[in-house]
């Protein structure tokens, strides 16, 4: 198809410099100071997926080391090899090697919160021993899963979800490069689906662009396997109105026609409950029921039974709210 490149757009449009990183200005400015000084401490990047943690690490290495950056930079994914051996062998071997044309090397350890406690303890000692020749950048979704001795050795940067404006600006740039058109409602749908995740936004855009050059709201929700917010709102209002069978039919359409899993439905349901107008007491009770259903699904309960039980509780709460 004309204008569509086979390369994955997430990689094609990955930032090459710190100036190209969007939505994290407060962090980028501090990282630029490290580049200027040609020195840096150990770093810990924490935040949700798709907000620029990996991009910042690679851009920092590029700008610090210049053209030969790849010789002094290694990226490891801790979720692939999470035991103590990866620290004792791969990481230690790279850390003890002298840097090439630079004052230090960088080890970027992605998804570091997947490391076992023993591996993290071994990593702590490695960080101490080779601090003259090596710097560590650890990336994680939950900093609480990183042991305190490692956290205390790092400068911690907490990444926030990408703002809607930043996502729109970046997607508009990509659309211009790829010669595709995004309608205003289509852009709004991508932003809603992405929920602050730039990687998801770009992937959804590329999937939609493979179908048509003019991307609208229907295309986005089709390729993203997302239910439109107004349909999810209809489910909630139907259940609260006391019509369990009608609400169950809507739930059936989500699961059988749209192919949504129980987790997906709960996530969208949670978002809708924070946005629609409800009495505060009722909203709190509904949120509590959604959290309970989510826990049960995580524990392996049957998703169909749990979702229908959730609808039944919505019907019950709606009747009590009406009486009050």
Domain of 58, CATH number, reads 3.40.50.300
Cβ neighbors of 71 (< 8 A, separation 6 or more) are 65, 100, 101
Classified as helix, coil or strand, 109 is: strand
**Structural domain contains residue 252:** yes
Number of domains in the chain: 3
Residue 73 structural domain = 24-158
Query: Which burial class, exposed, middle or buried, applies to 271 when counting CB atoms under 10 A from its CB (0-12, 13-18, 19+)?
Result: middle
Whether residue 134 sits in one domain with residue 75: yes
Whether residue 308 sits in one domain with residue 200: no
Identify which of 42, 29, 257 has the alpha carbon closest to the alpha carbon of residue 130.
42
Whether residue 139 sits in one domain with residue 39: yes
Cβ neighbors of 223 (< 8 A, separation 6 or more) are 204, 207, 208, 211
* Inter-axis angle of helices 198-209 and 184-194, nearest 10: 130
Taking the C-alpha atoms of residue 148 and residue 211, their distance in angstroms, rounded to an integer, is 48
Confidence at residue 80, expressed as pLDDT on a 0 to 100 scale: 63
**Structural domain contains residue 7:** no
Confidence at residue 93, expressed as pLDDT on a 0 to 100 scale: 78
Q: Which of 158, 178, 210 is the last residue of a domain?
A: 158
Task: Provide the residue-wise pLDDT of the chain in tens; the chain has 324 residues.
Answer: 444 445 788 888 888 899 999 889 999 999 999 999 888 999 999 999 999 999 999 999 999 988 888 888 988 876 666 556 666 667 777 887 877 878 888 999 888 888 888 888 888 888 888 888 889 999 999 888 999 999 999 999 999 999 999 999 999 999 999 999 999 999 999 999 998 999 999 999 999 998 888 999 988 988 887 888 889 999 999 999 999 999 999 999 888 888 888 888 999 999 999 888 889 999 999 999 999 999 999 999 999 999 999 999 999 998 877 555
Confidence at residue 53, expressed as pLDDT on a 0 to 100 scale: 93
The structure's pTM equals: 0.82
Q: Which of 172, 195, 224 is the last residue of a domain?
A: 224
């Amino acid at each position: 198809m004309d204008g569509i490149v086979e390369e994955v757009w997430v990689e094609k449009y990955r930032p090459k410099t710190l100036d190209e990183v969007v939505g994290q200005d407060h962090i980028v400015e501090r990282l630029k100071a490290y580049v200027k000084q040609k020195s840096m401490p150990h770093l810990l990047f924490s935040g949700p997926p798709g907000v620029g943690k990996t991009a910042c690490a690679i851009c920092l290495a590029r700008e610090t080391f210049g053209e030969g950056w790849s010789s002094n930079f290694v990226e490891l994914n801790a979720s692939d090899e999470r035991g103590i051996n990866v620290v004792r062998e791969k990481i230690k071997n790279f850390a003890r090697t002298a840097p090439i044309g630079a004052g230090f090397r960088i080890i970027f350890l992605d998804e570091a919160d997947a490391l076992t406690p023993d591996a993290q303890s071994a990593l702590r000692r490695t960080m101490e021993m080779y601090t003259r020749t090596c710097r560590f950048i650890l990336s994680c979704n939950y900093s609480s899963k990183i042991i305190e001795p490692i956290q205390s050795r790092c400068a911690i940067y907490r990444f926030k979800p990408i703002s809607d404006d930043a996502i729109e600006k970046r997607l508009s740039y990509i659309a211009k490069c790829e010669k595709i058109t995004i309608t205003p409602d289509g852009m709004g749908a991508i932003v809603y689906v992405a929920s602050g995740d730039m990687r998801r936004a770009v992937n959804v855009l590329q999937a939609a662009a493979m179908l048509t050059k003019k991307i609208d709201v229907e295309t986005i929700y089709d390729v993203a396997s997302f239910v439109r917010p107004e349909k999810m709102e209809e489910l909630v209002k139907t259940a609260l109105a006391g019509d369990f069978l009608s609400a169950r039919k809507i739930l059936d359409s989500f699961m059988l026609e749209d192919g949504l899993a129980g987790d997906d439905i709960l996530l969208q349901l949670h978002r809708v409950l924070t946005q629609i107008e409800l009495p505060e007491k009722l909203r709190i009770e509904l949120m509590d029921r959604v959290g309970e259903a989510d826990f049960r699904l995580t524990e392996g309960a049957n998703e169909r039974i749990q979702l229908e039980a959730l609808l039944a509780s919505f019907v019950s709460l709606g009747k009590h709210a009406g009486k009050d």
